[in-house]
A and B are shown apart, each in its own frame.
Chain A
Amino acid sequence: MTGQYILRRLIITLPVLLGVSLIIFTMVRVIPGDPAMVMAGPHATKDQVEQIRAQLGLDQHPVTQYFLFLGHLLRGDLGTSTRTALPVTKEIMARLPNTLLLALTSILIATVFGVLTGIIAGVKQNSKFDYLSMLIALFGLSMPVFWLGLMLMLLFSIELGWLPAVGADSFRHLILPAVTLGANSTAIIARMTRSSMLEVIRLDYIRTARAKGLREKLIISRHALKNALIPVVTVIGLQTGILLGGAVLTEIVFAWPGIGRLLVEAILARDYPVVQGVVLVVATMFIFVNLIVDILYAYLDPRIRYH
């Protein structure tokens, strides 16, 4: 049954991947004006423009172009950066580990703090802790990540001098960006854990456990948590994917050399092959993270598989 479910999910993923590639392919072709001329810049000679046109394959039929594009993609060829003349794959691979490190550290922080806060707030519903933590969570949801980053930098780097403000040379450099990027997810995970906890605690089997005279601690840890955390796993997974894309703003604030910053630099420099490549890589990673989350969800909650 699980095998069939995974297969079904994989089959749905294929058109999505194709759709994403089609959107990204179209992207470069619908730029107002001549993309080759836009990329070459205002001072380019006619030959240079033609060269870029040929490089992009723009002199061919759009359908042919799309299949060529797909063929290159499957071979891991994302083209050449018009800014640095380096292969896009190389540019991305140089920056990707930094983004992964940042995003994974953030999600780790968010999971630990979010789940713990959510459990306590849920178990002690309507307590001071519950109100206060949910208010802080709402703050976390409303905080512009770039502003939070600047304010943390102002406090911990400039005023107190405890942590470095920018760069990515050591573990100490990782702390501020990871906390900044994880704040929003911490809030989302805490809210989700709390509401999921509240829902499960009201169920009959928990009442039965209580009626049996089990200790409250045991009821929470052994019975309630197991079921309450299933939807939380989904949210954590989704957040992991979102952080990969959401790292853009944090990376800019802290001058973190990841693919988010690469993307913004490429957009500003009209380096479309790099824009195309980064968006494709991030979207593909997001799709696969979602796929893994779905499979994990089906594994944790057998009702999904039989649906």
Chain B
Amino acid sequence: MITISEPASEKKYSPFLEVWRRLSQRLTALAGLIIVLAFLILAIFAPFFAPHDPIEHSLGHMLAKPSWDYPFGRDELGRCIFSRVLYGARISLLIGLMVVAIGVLIGVPLGVVSAYYGGKVDFVVQRFVDTMLAFPGILLALTLIAMLGVGLANVMTAVGISTIPIYARLARSAVLAIKARQFVEASRSIGASNLKIIFRHLIPNSLSPIIVQSTLHMATAILWAAGLGFLGLGVNPPTPEWGAMLNGGRLYIRVAYHVATFPGLMIFVTVLGFNLLGDGLRDALDPRLKT
């Protein structure tokens, strides 16, 4: 919840400036922000930064060690790992955004409705959520992949669906806390409709935990999607996806460590960036959520 903590001054209050002020005071959060921004820039401008074609192979140079021309070396098909890693950032960004979009767009309304209406609706939705949460970690995504088959769209759908219950829980508890507040009561007493109360009051006021969760979920989504890629259940070759690249390099780890090392390092740094930023945002948006 973005609350105004200082008395109104002459300057116009901006919640964004306030969050930025708090965020910029934390070194770790700033580091996270820088990593995330670098990731976004690399992903968006991959064709500009990449020195070579990411899918052009050259069997004569397979597993070549890092050099000036090929900073991360070449993979098992002689492709430029640096270029593939850059293009891989695009795939990871796309996966992260789609997964969070699925989770938020389905999970949040589910949680809000569940909390707002309560009773039987709440009971049914919560048992549904319980059931989905009964699949530990990546297992639900794996199960869905078994059903849907491999491929990028299916990976995004599978990981996205498995985050729905988490958003539903989060939105539910946020709304339950706000629902009892006086301004909601006041709004109802002047005749506001359920929909108006939900969209004007409940959702905007429960945004903070959802924003924090979404940032942290970008990390989880990238991690899980890479995990599925690593298992050979992700994108189809020759798409440069980080997990699949790691899987390819795994077989050559004894002779060419760099093939598996660099894609893994990229996953690690990117996930770390989103985790740092998420932690920082949590502290900046709502210190009470601090763990």
C-alpha spacing A250/B142, complex, angstroms = 15
C-alpha spacing A68/B139, complex, angstroms = 25
Interface string of A141-172 (1 = CB under 8 A from B): 11111110011011000100000000000000
Contacts of B3 in A (CB 8 A): none
Within the complex, the shortest CB–CB distance from B127 to chain A, in Å, comes to 5
C-alpha spacing A244/B267, complex, angstroms = 23
Within the complex, the shortest CB–CB distance from A133 to chain B, in Å, comes to 14
A158 touches B253 (CB 8 A): yes
Contacts of B268 in A (CB 8 A): 139, 142-144, 147
B131 touches A20 (CB 8 A): yes
C-alpha spacing A23/B267, complex, angstroms = 31
The reply to whether the CB of B59 lies closer than 8 angstroms to some CB of chain A is: no
C-alpha spacing A19/B134, complex, angstroms = 9
The reply to whether the CB of B128 lies closer than 8 angstroms to some CB of chain A is: yes
Supposing A138-B272, A142-B275, A249-B227 touch, asked if A154 and B253 sit within 8 A by C-beta, the answer is yes
The reply to whether the CB of A213 lies closer than 8 angstroms to some CB of chain B is: no
Q: Give the contacts of A237-289 with B (CB-CB under 8 A).
A: 241-242, 244-246, 248-249, 252-253, 263-264, 266-268, 272, 275, 279, 282-283, 286-287
* Interface of A: prevailing SS: helix
Contacts of A241 in B (CB 8 A): 136
Contacts of B223 in A (CB 8 A): 142, 144
Contacts of A248 in B (CB 8 A): 138-139, 142, 231
B149 touches A287 (CB 8 A): no
CB < 8 Å neighbour of A263 from B134, B142, B232, B257: B142
Contacts of A192 in B (CB 8 A): 291
A286 touches B135 (CB 8 A): yes
Task: Identify the interface centre among A24, A144, A248, A279: most chain B CB within 10 Å of its CB.
Answer: A144
* Interface of B: prevailing SS: helix
B219 touches A286 (CB 8 A): no
Q: How many residues of A contact B (CB 8 A)?
A: 52
Task: Identify the interface centre among B128, B130, B271: most chain A CB within 10 Å of its CB.
Answer: B130
C-alpha spacing A117/B138, complex, angstroms = 27
B146 touches A27 (CB 8 A): yes
Interface string of A1-37 (1 = CB under 8 A from B): 0000000000010011101100110010011100000
Contacts of B231 in A (CB 8 A): 248-249, 252, 264
The reply to whether the CB of B47 lies closer than 8 angstroms to some CB of chain A is: no
Q: Give the contacts of A62-101 with B (CB-CB under 8 A).
A: none
Supposing A138-B275, A191-B291 touch, asked if A282 and B139 sit within 8 A by C-beta, the answer is yes
Contacts of B265 in A (CB 8 A): 147
The reply to whether the CB of B166 lies closer than 8 angstroms to some CB of chain A is: no
Supposing A27-B143, A30-B147, A32-B149 touch, asked if A139 and B272 sit within 8 A by C-beta, the answer is yes
Contacts of A24 in B (CB 8 A): 143
A245 touches B135 (CB 8 A): yes
The reply to whether the CB of B250 lies closer than 8 angstroms to some CB of chain A is: yes
The reply to whether the CB of A195 lies closer than 8 angstroms to some CB of chain B is: yes
Contacts of A147 in B (CB 8 A): 246, 260, 264-265, 267-268
Contacts of A253 in B (CB 8 A): 250
C-alpha spacing A282/B142, complex, angstroms = 12
The reply to whether the CB of B174 lies closer than 8 angstroms to some CB of chain A is: no
Q: Give the contacts of B94-148 with A (CB-CB under 8 A).
A: 127-128, 130-131, 134-139, 142-143, 145-148
CB < 8 Å neighbour of B227 from A30, A144, A158, A244: A144
Interface string of B221-254 (1 = CB under 8 A from A): 0010011001111000000000100100010011
A150 touches B260 (CB 8 A): yes
The reply to whether the CB of B276 lies closer than 8 angstroms to some CB of chain A is: yes
Q: For residue B143, which residue of chain A has the nearest CB?
A: A279
The reply to whether the CB of B261 lies closer than 8 angstroms to some CB of chain A is: yes
C-alpha spacing A142/B32, complex, angstroms = 12
The reply to whether the CB of B290 lies closer than 8 angstroms to some CB of chain A is: yes
Contacts of B148 in A (CB 8 A): 32
Contact sample, A vs B, 27 pairs, CB 8 Å cutoff: A16-B127, A20-B135, A23-B131, A32-B149, A142-B219, A142-B275, A144-B264, A146-B226, A146-B246, A147-B246, A154-B253, A158-B254, A245-B135, A246-B138, A248-B138, A249-B138, A252-B230, A252-B231, A253-B250, A267-B146, A279-B143, A282-B135, A282-B139, A283-B135, A286-B134, A286-B135, A286-B136
Interface set of B (CB-CB < 8 Å, partner A): 28, 127-128, 130-131, 134-139, 142-143, 145-149, 219, 223, 226-227, 230-233, 243, 246, 250, 253-254, 257, 260-261, 264-265, 267-268, 271-272, 275-276, 279, 290-291
Q: A16-B134, A144-B226, A151-B261 are in contact. List 8 more A-B contacts (CB 8 A).
A: A23-B131, A30-B147, A139-B272, A141-B275, A147-B260, A150-B250, A191-B291, A283-B134
